[in-house]
Amino acid sequence: MAGRAIVVVLGKQGAGKGTQCDRLSENLGIPHVSTGDILRAAVRERTPLGLEVESVLAAGNLVSDDLVNRLVEERFVQTDALRGALLDGFPRTPGQAEALDTFLGEDGIKVVIDLEVSSELVIERLSSRRVCQECGAIYKDTDVAAISGTCERCGGDVIQRPDDFPDAIARRLDTYERDTAPLKEFYERRGLVVTVDGSRSPDEVTADLVEVLKSRDLT
């Protein structure tokens, strides 16, 4: 691997970003950095930034770009991210992308992968998704853990999140299209975006992603 490997993974909710980032993390030996995970960890560990996040969420407000940017920057100085990271859920807007450029310095983004799936497939996938409230493990509604309501990994409660109901999914898709279209254009102008068909089986998608990373000298 040549230098620090910073890979941004874009895609609609349900495109498979989390699954693929976990797989590539093992392949590359760099962490899967998810904005959601960072927020939950900061709140759980009651770090100074975590207390700010907790206060914002308790007031029913959205976490600001500035606060998210600071959380991600803080994550990038941790030892396991010194060789690089797979970014999932960040950046979401051109403003966040510019902040990322600022604190990455010369390392920069090596490639931006866009996992492309139809909105119809997103609704189908997310409607059947169940999530552990404790560790974030994801299940299908037909899995034993989903049926029993108990996570196989940590024993936490497995639920259907409110934002995985069809009406909520539709609103999230509208937000994604509004915010991410300009973000894709931001990276396309720099020749960084590679689009991969995310509608196929996880193994087929992973195989394509590994080839993309090889072409950028990241494996």
Q: What is the pLDDT of residues 180-218, one digit of tens each?
A: 888 999 999 999 999 999 999 999 999 999 999 999 988
Query: Cα 131 to chain center, whole Å?
Result: 15
List the Cα angle 135/97/167 in 5-degree steps: 55
The chain-wide mean pLDDT, for the chain, equals 90
Q: How much is the pLDDT for 2?
A: 53
In the block, tokens 């394509």 appear at 208
**Do the Cβ atoms of 194 and 187 come closer than 8 Å?**
no
Q: State mean pLDDT over 141-169.
A: 93
Tell me which residue of 106, 107, 75 sits closest to 218, measured CA to CA. 107
Which of 32-46, 118-132, 148-162 shows the lowest per-residue confidence on average (mean pLDDT)?
32-46
Q: Which sequence positions are flagged as catalytic?
A: 17, 92, 129, 161, 172
Per-domain residue ranges of the chain:
5-215
**pLDDT interval class at 59 (50, 70, 90):** confident
What Cα–Cα distance (Å) separates residue 148 from each residue in 67, 86, 155, 157?
A: 37, 32, 11, 9
Given a cut of 90, whether residue 172 has pLDDT beyond it is no
Given a cut of 60, whether residue 11 has pLDDT beyond it is yes
Please state, in angstroms and rounded to a whole number, the distance separating the CA atoms of residues 67 and 85: 19
The verdict on pTM exceeding 0.95 is: no
Architecture of domain 5-215: 3-Layer(aba) Sandwich (3.40)
**Do the Cβ atoms of 91 and 8 come closer than 8 Å?**
yes
H or E segment and range at residue 104: helix 94-104
- Residues 114, 66, 68, 56, Cα dihedral to 10°: -130
